[in-house]
Amino acid sequence: MSTLAQPAASLVQSVDWLAVAPPALTALAALAVLVADLFLPRARKPLLGWVAVAALAASALLLLPLRHGDRGTFCVPGHPHVCSYTADHFALVIQFLVLGGALLTALLSVTALTDARGRLPEGEYWFLLLSSAAGAALLPAARDLATLIVALEVASLPAFALVGLRHGDARSTDAALKFFLSSVTATAVSLMGVSFVYATTGTLHLTEIAARIQHVDGSLQTLTQTGVVLTLVGFAFKTAAAPFHFWVPDTYAGAPLPIAAYLSVIGKAVGFTGLILVTVVAFPGYSAAWGPALAVLAALTMTVGNVGALHQQPTRTHSAIRLLAWSSVGQAGYLLVPIAAAGHARDPQTSIGSTVAYALMYAAVNLGAFAVAALVGRGRTRNRVADYRGLYTSRPLTALVLAFFLLCLAGLPPGVIGLFAKVVVFSAAVDAGLGWLAVVMAVNVVVALYYYLQWTALLFRAPEGEPVRLRVPAPLTAAIALTAVLAVALSGAPQLVLRFAGGSLF
Partner 1 sequence: MIDISESVMQFLLAFVVAAPLLGALAALLPAPPGLKGTSPEQAVLRHGVTVTGVVLLAAIALAAGFDHDHPSRMQATTDISWIPALHVRIHLGIDGISLPLVVLTALLTFLCALYSYVKPPAGPAPKAYVALLLLLETGTLATFAVLDLVLFFLAFETVLVPMYFLIARWGGEGRRAAAWRFVLYTLLGSVVMLLGLLLVGIKAGTFDMVALATDNGRSLTTSVQVVAVLAIGIGLAVKSPMWPLHSWLPDAHTAAPTTGSVLLAGVLLKMGTYGFVRILLPVAPDGFRTFAPALAAFAVVGIVWGSLACLALARRGARGDLKRLIAYSSVGHMGFVLLGIATMTPTGVNGALFANIAHGLITGLLFFLVGGLKERTGTTDLDTLAKDTGAALYGTAPRLGGLLAFGAVASLGLPGLAGFWGEMLALFGAFRPAAGLSRPAFVTFMAIGALGTLLTAAYLLVVVRRVCMGAAPEQTPRLPDVRGFEFAAWTPLVVLTVLAGLWPKALLGLTDPAVQQFLAGGTR
Partner 2 sequence: MHLAYPAVLSALLFCTGLYGVLARRNAILVLMSVELMLNAVNLNLVAFDVYLSKAARDTLHSGQALTLFTIAIAAAEIGIGLAIVLAVYRNRGTSAIDRLRDAAEGHGDDSDDSAGSDSTVPGAEKAEATA
Partner 3 sequence: MTTTTNAVLVPLLPFLGAVAGLLLGRTAPGFVRPLAVLPTLASLVLAVLVAAGQGGGPALDAATQLTPTGSVPVDLALHIDGTAALVAVLVGVVATCVQIYSTGYLRDDPRYPSYAALVSLFTSAMLLVVYTGDLIVLLVGWEVMGICSYFLVGHYWETPQARAASLKAFLVTKLGDVPFLIGLFVLAGDAGSFRITTVLGTVAGGGLHHPTLAALLLLAGVAGKSAQFPLHSWLPDAMAGPTPVSALIHAATMVAAGVYVVARLLPVYQASAAAMTVLAVMAAVTMASAALAALAQDDIKRVLAYSTISQLGYMTGALAAGDRGAAVFHLLSHGAFKALLFLAAGVVIHAAGTNSLAAMSRTGNLRDRVPDAYWTMTVALLALAAIPPFSGFFSKETVLAAAEHAAMGHTVHVPAAAGWTVLVAGLVTALLTGAYALRLWLLAFHGRGADAPGHGRQPVAMNAVLWVLAVPSLAFGGLTYRLLPDWLGGDSLAPALTTSVLGTGLALAGGVLTYGAWRHTTARAARTPLGAVAAHPQADAGLVEAEAVAGHEPAYGDIASAPDPADPGRLLLGPLHRHAAAGFHLDALYRAAFVRPVTAGASLVRFLDREVVETYVRGAGALPRLLGAAVRRAQTGNVQTYVSALLAGTVVLAVAAVLVATGA
The single residue among 65, 202, 379, 433 that binds partner 2, judged by CB under 8 A, is 202
398 forms part of the interface with partner 2 (CB under 8 A): no
We find the least distance from the C-beta atom of residue 415 to partner 1, in angstroms, to be 9
Residues 179-208 that bind partner 3 (CB under 8 A): 181-182, 185-186, 189
Answer yes or no: are the C-beta atoms of 84 and 144 closer than 8 Å. yes
Residues 105 and 258 sit within 8 Å (Cβ to Cβ): yes
The count of chain residues that interact with partner 2, using the rule CB under 8 A, is 57
Q: Where are the alpha helices (DSSP H) in 40-163?
A: 46-61, 89-116, 122-138, 145-163
d(CA 34, CA 37) in angstroms, rounded, equals: 5
Q: Does 214 bind partner 2 (CB under 8 A)?
A: no
310, 453, 488, 496: which one binds partner 3 (CB under 8 A):
310
Query: Which of 234/411 has CB closer to partner 1?
Result: 411
Distances (CA, A) of 418 to 239, 329, 404, 424: 19, 16, 10, 10
- Decide if 328 contacts 260 (C-beta within 8 A): no
Is residue 408 within the footprint of partner 1 (CB under 8 A)? no
12 DSSP assignment: S
Nearest alpha carbon to residue 482 among 106, 26, 133: 106
Q: Is 252 in the site for partner 3 (CB under 8 A)?
A: no
What b-and-e string marks burial along 110-145, b requiring 16 or more CB atoms within 10 Å of the CB? bbbbebbeeebbbbbbbbbbbbbbbbbbbbbbbbbb
Q: Whole-angstrom Cα distance, residue 225 to residue 222?
A: 5
Binding marks (x or -) toward partner 2, 444..483, rule CB under 8 A? ----------------------------------------
Cβ-contact 235, 191 below 8 angstroms: no
Enumerate the β-bridge partners of residue 424.
Answer: none
What is the rounded CA–CA span in Å between residue 257 and residue 175? Answer: 13
Contacting range for partner 1; rule: CB under 8 A; set: 29-37, 70-78, 332-340, 496-504: 496-504
Distance between CA 506 and CA 502 in Å, rounded? 12
Interacting positions 428-467 with partner 3 (CB under 8 A): 447
Applying CB under 8 A, among 3, 315, 435, 474 the residue interacting with partner 1 is 435
Which one, 92 or 373, has the nearer CB to partner 2? Answer: 373
The footprint of partner 1 on residues 319-378 (CB under 8 A) is 357
What is the binding site for partner 1 (CB under 8 A)?
357, 400, 407, 412-414, 416, 419-420, 423-424, 426-427, 430-431, 435, 438-439, 442-443, 445-446, 449-450, 453, 457, 460, 462, 494-495, 498-502
What is the binding site for partner 2 (CB under 8 A)?
1-3, 76, 144-146, 149-150, 153, 157, 160-161, 164, 166, 168-171, 173-178, 180-181, 184-185, 187-189, 191-192, 194-196, 198-199, 202-205, 249-250, 253-254, 308, 311, 313, 315-318, 381-383
